[in-house]
Amino acid sequence: MTTRLYHHPVFAEHLTGPGHPERPDRMRAVAAALEAEAFQHLDRAEAPEAPLAAIYRCHPESYVRRIAKAIPDAGMARIDGDTVVSPKSFSAALHAVGAACAGVDDVATGAVANVFVAARPPGHHAERDTAMGFCLFNTAAIAARHAQAVHGLERVAIVDWDVHHGNGTQDIFWSDTSVFYASTHQMPLFPGTGAKDETGAGTICNAPLSSGDGSEAFREAFESRVLPALHAFRPDLVIISAGFDAHHRDPLANINLVEGDFDWATGKLMDAADRHAGGRLVSLLEGGYDLVGLGRSVTAHVGRLMAG
């Protein structure tokens, strides 16, 4: 049993303009990190394009049409102050969703042990009918619905360690007790959501961190809040919204994690997946904007996935 990596050239063709932190160089940094000898046995697959029907499980058809219409024929356009699209952006988003759903297929059928999807644009800020925070479609949410609809995996857990709260994932599953959502994130910070008392129907678990926090606070939040709630939920599948912008080098926030923290958290979630979900785990790249920090963090994360 191996770890599978999903990638696609179109992820580097989603252009966001000079100076934008969510840039094609992120894909090149991840690819370079995973070319190391330690990853020679990593199973590599090209991301398929998702059918629109998969996206409609989380986003209304009218919203998807609106995003498609916003894509320019040339140059770049802004959906909001942060979220930029260019001619290949819709295709990149479809392949990101397709990779996440294919990853669910892989672990549900036992084809591989686990999956890492190295895709952009990210997804966790995309609400049911609103694109924001660099995100067009909520990839993790769509993957969760795909697992339920196609594979009958009734209880899906999404654990999000991106430094920004996944307001979109929380929005989509606010009233849904079949999906557990847990998040560690800096607060206050964009998008302004993620307080401890935001619990939805009881399956939302926020564990906010304060500016300047590091490994000790992050691990304590995991141990005291996230993991007990996750184990109590007993998921059939674990999805990670794997943002690496809580790394101490990242320019968009002020949490001081190191690569070892992502290795540790990955191991904890693998243990939970082994205990409750037959090992089924799919990890999706979200943020991470310092290229050195991103490369090192992905190295640690995927290395742990492969180690089993």
What are the angstrom distances between the C-alpha of 1 and each of 99, 107, 112, 256, 307? 19, 10, 5, 34, 11
CA distance 189 to 278: 36
Residues 6+ apart with CB under 8 A from 233: 155, 157, 180, 203
CB 242, CB 286: distance < 8 Å:
yes
CA distance 202 to 103: 27
Alpha helices in the chain (DSSP H): 25-33, 52-55, 61-70, 89-109, 139-151, 167-172, 215-221, 227-233, 259-276, 291-307
Catalytic residue, candidates 14, 124, 125, 301: 125
SS3 at position 154: coil
CB 147, CB 102: distance < 8 Å:
no
Q: In what order do the strands lie in the sheet with 179-186?
A: 43-46, 3-7, 114-117, 281-285, 237-242, 156-160, 179-186, 204-209
User: What is the signed CA dihedral for 58, 225, 210, 268, rounded to 10 degrees?
Assistant: -80
Q: How many other C-beta atoms are found inside a 10 Å radius of the C-beta of residue 199?
A: 14
Among 175, 303, 281, which Cα is nearest to 230's? 281
Residue 59 annotated among the catalytic residues of the structure: no
CB 154, CB 178: distance < 8 Å:
yes
Catalytic center residues: 125
